[in-house]
Amino acid sequence: MAVGENPSQSLSPVMDSPSLRELQQPLLAGVGCGPPIQKPGEPQLGPPFGETAFAESLRGWQLLPPPLPTVSAGLGEPGPPDLEDASSSDSDSDWDGGSLLSPLLPHDHLGLAVFSMLCCFWPVGIAAFCLAQKHPQRQEQQHFPSLDDKPQFPGASAEFVDKLEFIQPNVISGIPVYRVMDRQGQIINPSEDPHLPQETVLKFYKSMTLLNTMDRILYESQRQGRISFYMTNYGEEGTHVGSAAALDSTDLVFGQYREAGVLMYRDYPLELFMAQCYGNASDLGKGRQMPVHYGCKERHFVTISSPLATQIPQAVGAAYAAKRANANRVVICYFGEGAASEGDAHAGFNFAATLECPVIFFCRNNGYAISTPTSEQYRGDGIAARGPGYGIMSIRVDGNDVFAVYNATKEARRRAVAENQPFLIEAMTYRIGHHSTSDDSSAYRSVDEVNYWDKQDHPISRLRHYLQGRGWWDDEQEKAWRKQSRKKVMEAFEQAERKPKPNPNLLFSDVYQEMPAQLRKQQESLARHLQAYGEHYPLDHFEK
């Protein structure tokens, strides 16, 4: 059974560099190396040419080991499927430096000299003899004294050490926590004060508090059965707003699910937050996902997905594309300390570093992944300590200090874009709320612990103290703002409740850009079904 003809090497239409073509030649292994195969019972053959001195020089090259084919050759290159090709699968290994000498001749100069003399090739013999004096024997290893005492491994750049010592991971006094304000909102080191204008700092404050108000109302609404699910951001508002403020408005954001403050800072309207949670006809996501899975193209906030850490390598790819486009954009990628355990996190960090991507990895280390405390999530010095392992510039900050978050993100952004390298910011904070409406955290932590953070180290109160210290805020404004923000949220909330859900046809669209024939049939099948059985379905709540 013949196989389709094998193309010869010269057929390649694309640029097949000569060096690659060399690699494609089958190994010459075994040719001219080693004595001829002896059949049993036949008299032993002496050395090929029978003369002792001569044979001695030949033995030199006979003993050269045949070059080994690389282990990977057989797999990467499937052997030709027919039996006519007697050689084993192509090897990609180079051998012998591409010697121009025939394999039958000695390869060392001295041997060649002797051989030539004996065969009366005097000029060759003399030349080879001279060469033998000038150049060291090929069999002997060349000596490079200057490289003796340094490791030459391609895999690491380091010195030798002759003392057996394991590196002790430092978790007792780990990477320090950068902060600008103390817990009472006082600037510690004035040179670290970003000196943001009043308007900007007020925007920080109002974004955080509006988010807080929206969280309370929507959490309640889930308890009352109005929406199916909710996740609050209590205690982490500083991480959202501080970082969002340090970015350009067109910087692309990949989040996990607890970064609503970033959208809030970018002026995502309350109506749209609510629409997504209610899955009503105004939802830009067309009602397809659970609450808090926000997305906004206009505000460069990629739609949230439930699987954790999947956004990390995606953010890196987006950053790579931004770099190629010379967009002067950074991509920021948020995730929790729990998600940082996923393989996708490792993948993302490694790719960002090796491919030199302008991406900020922002880890919200809030102490818990649902019920799992950090002591069960990792054993090293948090997430920041992993950065250097990947070759990534890293910092740990006080996530409840909005100015520290701002400063770190600002500098990271500047350098990421200027230097095309990733930055890792681990923002230490605390998750004051439950993981979600499906969680009751009193099952795994004390109320005292939660109260400490709520009362003693909250990003909102720290900023309020700062504002009050500057004379930019007071109790009256606080009271008025609380009333106003609550009113805004309630209005949006009531409106969102009243709106119908999207048309059920939207169940079927956007699977692909165009609807496949099979899916259209299924859509028609549902339509027919609803005609007959519609009374059993909540059609009244959906747009027609």
Residue 420 three-state SS = coil
- Is-catalytic flag, 541? no
Indicate the residue among 252 and 416 with the shorter CB distance to another protein: 252
* Contacts to another protein from residues 296-335, by CB under 8 A: 296-297, 302-303, 305, 307, 310, 312-322, 324-325, 331
Q: Is 71 in the site for another protein (CB under 8 A)?
A: no
Q: Is 512 in the site for another protein (CB under 8 A)?
A: yes
Residue 224 three-state SS = coil
Neighbour count for residue 4 (Cβ, 10 Å) = 7
Interatomic CA distance for residues 229 and 278, integer angstroms: 10
- Is-catalytic flag, 436? yes
- Among 63, 447, 511, 527, which residue sits at the site for another protein (rule: CB under 8 A)? 511
Structure tokens at 41: 């019972």
Structure tokens at 151: 């490791």
* Contacts to another protein from residues 337-356, by CB under 8 A: 343-344, 346-348, 350-351, 354-355
Write down the catalytic residue from 220, 271, 342, 478: 220
* Contacts to another protein from residues 383-412, by CB under 8 A: none
Q: Given the rule CB under 8 A, which of 293-301, 427-435, 437-445, 532-540 is the region that contacts another protein?
A: 293-301
Indicate the residue among 337 and 344 with the shorter CB distance to another protein: 344
- Is-catalytic flag, 220? yes
Indicate the residue among 210 and 296 with the shorter CB distance to another protein: 296
Cβ(90)–Cβ(77) below 8 Å = yes
Structure tokens at 48: 């090929």
Q: Is 134 in the site for another protein (CB under 8 A)?
A: no
Q: Is 5 in the site for another protein (CB under 8 A)?
A: yes
- For the bound state, the minimum distance from the C-beta of residue 23 to another protein, rounded and expressed in Å, comes to 10
Residue 335 three-state SS = strand
Element housing 253 (H / E): strand 252-254
Interatomic CA distance for residues 487 and 470, integer angstroms: 27
* Contacts to another protein from residues 466-505, by CB under 8 A: none
Interatomic CA distance for residues 234 and 530, integer angstroms: 43
Neighbour count for residue 434 (Cβ, 10 Å) = 21
Write down the catalytic residue from 221, 394, 436, 441: 436
| Distances 161 to 158, 169, 438 between C-alpha atoms, Å | 9, 19, 54
Per DSSP bridges, beta strands 331-336 and 252-254 are parallel
Write down the catalytic residue from 87, 228, 249, 306: 306
Angle between helices 459-470 and 198-223 (to 10 degrees): 150
* Contacts to another protein from residues 17-46, by CB under 8 A: 17, 20
Q: Given the rule CB under 8 A, which of 49-57, 174-182, 285-293, 440-448 is the region that contacts another protein?
A: 285-293
- Is-catalytic flag, 306? yes
Residue 221 three-state SS = helix
Q: Given the rule CB under 8 A, which of 195-203, 282-290, 475-483, 533-541 is the region that contacts another protein?
A: 282-290
Q: Is 94 in the site for another protein (CB under 8 A)?
A: no
The residues annotated with a catalytic role in the active site are 220, 306, 435-436
